Structure 1
Amino acid sequence: MTTTTTVSPAISSLNKDKNNLGRYFALLCFIFGGVGLILNVIILTRRSLRSNPCSIYFLASTFANLFIVFVSIPVRFLTAGFNIDPTIMSLANCRLQYYTFWLSRALSSWYITLASIDRYLCSSISIRIRQWSNKEIAYRMIAITTITVSMAYFHVLIYFTIDVTKDRYGNITSLSCNGQKGDYRTFAAFFHLTCYTIIPPLLMFIFGLLALNNIRRHGMLVFPSVQGRTIAKCINRKNRKTDRQLLLMLILQVVCIFLSTTPLSVQQLYSTFTANFAKDAFKMAQDSFFLAVVGNISFIAHCSSFYLFTLAGSIFRRELKKLLLIRRCLKKRHQKQELVTVETTITRPTKF
């Protein structure tokens, strides 16, 4: 049996490690995730990619991830690093922030799920099925998904509250933004678990396998039909290569999402099933620490897309190189213009 004198330092050590992990991990995600996502927006909106429906889904997911990186992660940094929790400042702030936090993470995963479905449609041998892979359908599906998921999470704006924890003397020991105690808290945990960490990765995995099966069966990617009976071979080859690269980028991101969110799913299931078990202070500190670890790991799925795209997609790397070359050329041109201006000023005769 662990004594109180040994438990207290252990609890303090776990809490300190949890806060340090949250502080530094949030800072890394903010820096590298922010830079990568901004580059994502620039590259995915370039001419060679912006007309592809899969790129449109990637772009929608990038915008959701931008909210996570520039809003959710700074809040996490303040909470872990400086013990400042903006969610407990007011009831409205509590509900609004949790609603947007959960919604943005769920939408990011669902947009990638749509991209997986699009790759399956795009690789089908049936012309009728391939016709569902186009820009117009992509925009409609993004709108429908955004509205549906936003409405599904609307209960957070109603039933979340600031939870007050008191000691046996009636003194307030902690405040936290959470779902109302009882059945709703269990429902909210299972709901977010299902909509964010179970169903989207499962659908990504299923449709990813189906897309790979289509490619294996036909020996090549088949693309959405376009108007006209004939297509130039060079254009067809270019489209095939683009779609193949987008599929590779998608597969790598699906694997990353699955690996980074699965530990969170397991930990949340454990927390839900053991919520009514008697736990001592040290066990509660351990659970809190492990939840913080897997919670931080889950943010990798929202911060790493640029680096995964760069690793897997040669077309993405090519567009990145073009972007860097354009910036370099513009910089040299600007320096040359400044040099010409200085030389003109020096050689100009002085008037007396």
Structure 2
Amino acid sequence: MSTSTDANITAYWNNASSSMNRYFSIFLFLFGTIGNILNILVLFQRELRTNSCSFLFLISSIANLVAILSGLTTRMLSGWALDLTNTIDWLCKLRAFIVFVSRNIALLSIMFAALDRWLSSSINVHRRHMSTLKNAQRAVILLLIFSSIIYSPIFYCYKANLTNAPLKCYGETNICRISNDLIYACCTILFPILLMSLFGIMTITNIRHVQSRANMTNSIERLPISKKKKVDRQLSLMLFIQIILLALFTLPQAIQKLYSTITANQILTPAQSAFNNFLFNLVLLLTYVANGMPFYIYTLSGGTVFRNALIQLFRKLNQIHP
């Protein structure tokens, strides 16, 4: 009786994982692809792409789009057993490398955007002068090199046609899985989220210092807020909200990765393995929510700066295709 119950539970969780990959992936694919394409088109407009923070948002959106196209496409196909990365080694390695590198660039770009906001809000003139488009472009080049280096072992570790792994395309040995899990959990999620939060708190502190100094002046007249300062404020709000939601949707996977590393040698029943596999797929798909949400955050929290740029984009598109 217990064997039959265990088999039913195993089948239930396996079916739940398959259905989630098949249907939830389609929603996330459409949600994220449309949002990131619109994001890229809006942020590529001259007024925004010349701002160092919005340039980093643009790079993050491009990386998010690459992550969604390379990661979710195969997950949708796996629901119908059509995923070639599960059976062809070089496709497995290439797909995994692109997904991990693009995700790393996406999150670290937001981390550098948080650093840029801290620099631009500082009362120290030298720090404010470091918040430039040129430095943002240098940061992106460093990100690409760093991300490619830390995930290069994927070409050695990842194999297709695996049966004793959460995915058929996965790290072949325990050492590979543990090292990749730790790199991903720490370098792509935990450390960037912690640094984003730190720079966010420091930026708020800077803003309060500036406001307190302004309040101490004896000026009767208040000068109108310049357009650049208005853009900076709204970019900061967009950034803070994105940091909070990034933590909400990515930290569960970091925790799951660390847990799987700690319990790598633990013997599990088929039902426990099926449940762990379901959790693995769930937290993995939640990270794609993080990849797809920036456009919707910027539209709701970006104020008139982002929404006006979006309206201008639609007007230009309408002129091209009347």
Instruction: Return the TM-score normalized by structure 2.
Output: 0.91
| 1:21 alignment counterpart | 20
- Structure 1 residue 31: deviation in Å? 1.1
Q: Give the conservation status (yes or no) of the 8 Å contact 2:28–2:292.
A: yes
1:322 — aligned with what?
312
Give the aligned partner of residue 68 of structure 1.
67
> Are residue 93 (structure 1) and residue 91 (structure 2) matched?
yes
Alignment partner, residue 144 of structure 1: 142
Match of 2:47 in 1: 48
CA distance in 2 between partners of 1:180 and 1:221 (Å) = 59
Q: Does 1:216 align with 2:216?
A: no
- What is the number of equivalent residue pairs in this alignment? 313
Residue 280 of structure 1: aligned partner: 269
Which residue does 2:173 correspond to in 1?
181
Gap change, CA 1:244 and 1:161, over 3 Å in 2: same
Letter in 2 for 1:95: K
Deviation digits for residues 102-122 of structure 1 (CA, Å, limit 9, x no counterpart): 111111101111101100111
Q: In the superposition, relative to structure 1, how do residues 221 and 293 fare at CA in structure 2: closer, same or farther (>3 Å)?
A: farther
| Paired residues of 1:87 and 1:94 also in contact (CA < 8 A) | yes
Is the CA contact (8 Å cut-off) linking 1:33 and 1:304 kept in structure 2?
Answer: yes
Identity, % of aligned positions: 32
The one-letter code sitting in structure 2 at the alignment partner of 1:78 is: L
Deviations 1:55-85 (A, max 9, x none): 1100101111111222211111111x21233
| Native 8 Å contact 1:49 1:55 kept in 2 | yes
Structure with max Cα Rg: 1
Q: 2:185, 2:255 within 8 Å by CA — same for their partners in 1? A: no
SS at match of 2:168: strand
Show the counterpart of 2:249.
260
The alignment's C-alpha RMSD in Å is 2.2
1:220/1:92 CA distance change after superposition, 3 Å: farther
Deviations 1:122-159 (A, max 9, x none): 10111111111011111111111111111121111122
2:266 is the alignment partner of 1:301: no
Query: Per the alignment, do residues 283 and 324 of structure 1 end up closer, same or farther by CA in structure 2, a change over 3 Å counting?
Result: same
Deviation at 1:220, TM superposition (A): 8.4
The aligned amino acid for 1:3 is: S
1:194-220, Cα deviation, whole Å (9 max, x unpaired): 111211111111111111110011118
- The amino acid of 1:218's aligned partner reads V
Query: Which residue identity does 2:265 align to in structure 1?
Result: N
The alignment partner of 2:176 has SS state of helix
2-side partners of 1:195 and 1:7: how far apart?
A: 38
Residues 266-315 of structure 1: per-residue CA shift (max 9 Å, x gap)? 11222111121121111111111111111111111100100000011111
